[in-house]
Structure 1
Amino acid sequence: MRAAVVGASGYAGGEILRLLIEHPGIEIGALTAASSAGTPLGRIHPHLVPLADRTVVETTPEAVTDHDVVFLALPHGHSAALVDRLPADVLVIDCGADFRLADDAAWTAYYDTPYAGQWPYGLPELALADGGVQRTRLLGARRIAVPGCYPTAVSLALAPGLAAGVLEPDDLTVVAASGTSGAGKGLKAHLLGSEVMGAMSPYGVGGVHRHTPEIEQNLSLAAGADVRVSFTPTLAPMPRGILATCTARLASGAGVEQVRAAWEQRYAGETFVHLLPEGVWPSTASVVGSNSALIQVAVDDRVGRVIAIAAIDNLTKGTAGAAVQCLNLAAGWDETIGLPVAGVAP
């Protein structure tokens, strides 16, 4: 398949290209951007050596319509206008938020562009209340919305317990730390090295972070009932990674064995989601550059709460890796093609 990457100059676009370079089923076609148009890719992403001489072109429908698959790595609210001008048979995989939410009121409350509708949601391992998983809804799809990075980590951490009924759905709290690349490549004073090094800071406090409705949507699908989440993101002094610490009240009658069994059964056989051995805790350093999510779960008997922790690379499993995983499912290929399971260390 011939693939175009729209927004190739950003972190997400660069990560998609890093993975596509090694994908045996993909020929990389047009690389497009806005202000970077006319620039050799090697000046923007010097690590993408095989593509260094390729020139980024202006983003237009004409630049990408003759491709089999188009990856969109655009700012939120910018995908819908382009998609409307692409043929229906082109596989479009959007890494922005434009088509993730089912509820137009939820979109309007958190975003400042018109609601564009919902596409099949690209988190294959998401546990559903009926015992199924989201993967079946992606097979053969022509339009796919890639999840946000925080929702990926939080959903993979909590959904098995909600689907199994071992967590109470009315008292969920999440505190998650992200690396600075989650804010994109644009220059921002609070993301300068001198501001970030040696510091951690909260942001989006009080339920105002844009990923809140997406997290609630996913966990409601897992629980089979409406779920509300208290979500507090924090900025960590690292370029990549998310560590999501999630807690919930233990359901009446559930014990330690039932809790662990819920996660073991859900993720048994999954290539990219790994429940760690008891007593081993996820670390962002272990997933750098990989499409893997590391999960651990424990019960705090003293207060009757379950703690589920997930670590992912926000640019790989949280964005570009998910996009390629969805490509594989939509194209009918092996889901794991072109995707690294092992991280990079040290």
Structure 2
Amino acid sequence: MSISVAVSGASGYAGGEVLRLLANHPDVSIGTITAHSSAGSRLGEVQPHLHSLAVRELQETTVENLQGHDVVFLALPHGASADIAAQLPDDVLVIDAGADHRLEDSEAWEKFYGSAHAGTFPYGLPELPGARNALRGARRIAVPGCYPTSALLALTPGFSAGLLEHDDVVIVSASGASGAGKALKPHLLGSEVMGGMSPYGVGGGHRHTPEIEQGLGWAAGAPVTVSFTPTLAPMSRGILTTATAKVRTGSSAAQLREAWEKAYDGEPFVTLLPEGQWPATQSVLGSNAVHLQLAFDEHAGRVIISCAIDNLTKGTAGGAVQSMNIALGLTETAGLTGSGVAP
């Protein structure tokens, strides 16, 4: 029996990526697709790469248009998902790709997002300890932010194993311009982005900081303090995260590597690369893959982990589809690939 799926925000990058993956999913039939300003247009006008769905008409994003489906993906701007999710029936699987339901701490939400907290859904990052159990049978899922996906996958094994200090974590991530969405912004014009890099959200001001601290706190069993700096890289898609943390006295390079190997042994999409080989965003392009490498800087007493993901696939839509598969009892890898596109 085919699972009926509706996708909102289908004219944007995240919604378009969800549709790209669902179009090749063996267990899914794509029902209503919606947008805001593009409503009434053919999908092919705004997502010309989605050939099999090009003639489909974009509907208005309303609760009425999204009802009647088994699964609803909400690929909407932050603050726009909560009201719709609350009005959909409890037996519908609602997957929120926005930030509305990621944080447990209402004060952190209000500080970084400036609106009332809508509550918390199970967190859609299956590779975290205990996450799959929480996702099985779930009917509400919060898809992680793209930066937190890379940061949490990079650092969680060390905190789960008790090898890292909690108060000296530094994360620097470089993201492609698609991470800022499809809306026109002067600083994201090709002539502004190509050929250079720039930081933003410096000094603890980026909205993903509390989400990263929340996830690492789950792994550590205690609060973790993070200094997070995002940078804009001259590429369309991809994230390369470099995360470092102070290693607890007495821990060795062998113990560190063993912790990461154990954490991701058997994971279908996470690869700890052979020693000496470092991740590259091009290697995971278009895939749900995660490439990791670590090194122990004994002089500084720090572990350095590099993580590469595609921000639109594993960082958003791929993680959403993977979580849907788990929630519905489907094959976890259905509709997804771990192979990148090169060159």
Q: What is the alpha-carbon distance in structure 2 between the residues aligned to residue 59 and residue 197 of structure 1?
A: 34
Residue 245 (str. 1) matches residue 242 (str. 2): yes
After superposition, the C-alpha distances for 1:232-291 in whole angstroms (9 at most, x for unaligned) are 000000000000000011111100000000000000000011100000000000000000
The residue type equivalent to 1:102 in the other structure is E
Q: What is the alpha-carbon distance in structure 2 between the residues aligned to residue 83 and residue 217 of structure 1?
A: 23
Q: What is the alpha-carbon distance in structure 1 between the residues aligned to residue 161 and residue 23 of structure 2?
A: 39
Q: Which residue of the partner structure matches residue 71 of structure 2? A: 69
Q: Which residue of the partner structure matches residue 198 of structure 1? A: 195
Q: Which residue of the partner structure matches residue 144 of structure 2? A: 147
Secondary structure in 2 matching 1:169: strand
TM-score (norm: length of structure 1):
0.98
The residue type equivalent to 1:268 in the other structure is D
> 1:219 offset after TM fit, Å?
0.3
> 1:299 offset after TM fit, Å?
0.2
Q: Which residue of the partner structure matches residue 180 of structure 2? A: 183
> 1:168 offset after TM fit, Å?
1.1
> 1:113 offset after TM fit, Å?
2.1
Q: Which residue of the partner structure matches residue 3 of structure 1? A: 5
The residue type equivalent to 2:17 in the other structure is E
Residue 297 (str. 1) matches residue 294 (str. 2): yes
After superposition, the C-alpha distances for 1:76-97 in whole angstroms (9 at most, x for unaligned) are 0000111121111110000000
Q: What is the alpha-carbon distance in structure 2 between the residues aligned to residue 104 and residue 327 of structure 1?
A: 26
Residue 174 (str. 1) matches residue 171 (str. 2): yes
> 1:134 offset after TM fit, Å?
1.3
- 1:104-123 paired onto structure 2 within 5 Å: 104-123=106-125
Q: What is the alpha-carbon distance in structure 1 between the residues aligned to residue 278 and residue 133 of structure 2?
A: 30
Q: Which runs of 5+ in 1 are unaligned?
A: 128-132
Q: Which runs of 5+ in 2 are unaligned?
A: none
Pick one of 44, 49, 52 that aligns with 1:50.
52
Q: What is the alpha-carbon distance in structure 2 between the residues aligned to residue 84 and residue 215 of structure 1?
A: 25
Q: What is the alpha-carbon distance in structure 1 between the residues aligned to residue 114 and residue 41 of structure 2?
A: 31
Q: Which residue of the partner structure matches residue 328 of structure 1? A: 325
Deviating 4+ runs (over 4 angstroms):
none
> 1:302 offset after TM fit, Å?
1.1
Q: Which residue of the partner structure matches residue 314 of structure 1? A: 311
> 1:303 offset after TM fit, Å?
1.1
Secondary structure in 2 matching 1:84: helix
- 1:252-267 paired onto structure 2 within 5 Å: 252-267=249-264
Q: Which residue of the partner structure matches residue 160 of structure 2? A: 163
Q: Which residue of the partner structure matches residue 229 of structure 1? A: 226
Q: What is the alpha-carbon distance in structure 2 between the residues aligned to residue 302 and residue 61 of structure 1?
A: 57
The residue type equivalent to 2:203 in the other structure is G
Q: Which residue of the partner structure matches residue 130 of structure 1? A: none
TM-score (norm: length of structure 2):
0.99
Count matched residues: 341
Q: Which residue of the partner structure matches residue 215 of structure 2? A: 218
Q: Which residue of the partner structure matches residue 282 of structure 2? A: 285
The residue type equivalent to 2:211 in the other structure is E
The residue type equivalent to 1:18 in the other structure is R
After superposition, the C-alpha distances for 1:277-331 in whole angstroms (9 at most, x for unaligned) are 0000000000000001101011001111100110000000000000000110010
Q: Which residue of the partner structure matches residue 88 of structure 1? A: 90
After superposition, the C-alpha distances for 1:173-232 in whole angstroms (9 at most, x for unaligned) are 001000000000000000001100101000000000000000000000011110010000
> 1:125 offset after TM fit, Å?
0.3
The residue type equivalent to 2:195 in the other structure is G
Q: What is the alpha-carbon distance in structure 1 between the residues aligned to residue 6 and residue 115 of structure 2?
A: 25
Q: What is the alpha-carbon distance in structure 1 between the residues aligned to residue 131 and residue 161 of structure 2?
A: 16
Q: Which residue of the partner structure matches residue 39 of structure 1? A: 41
Q: Which residue of the partner structure matches residue 100 of structure 1? A: 102
Aligned residues: CA RMSD: 0.6
Q: What is the alpha-carbon distance in structure 2 between the residues aligned to residue 303 and residue 80 of structure 1?
A: 44
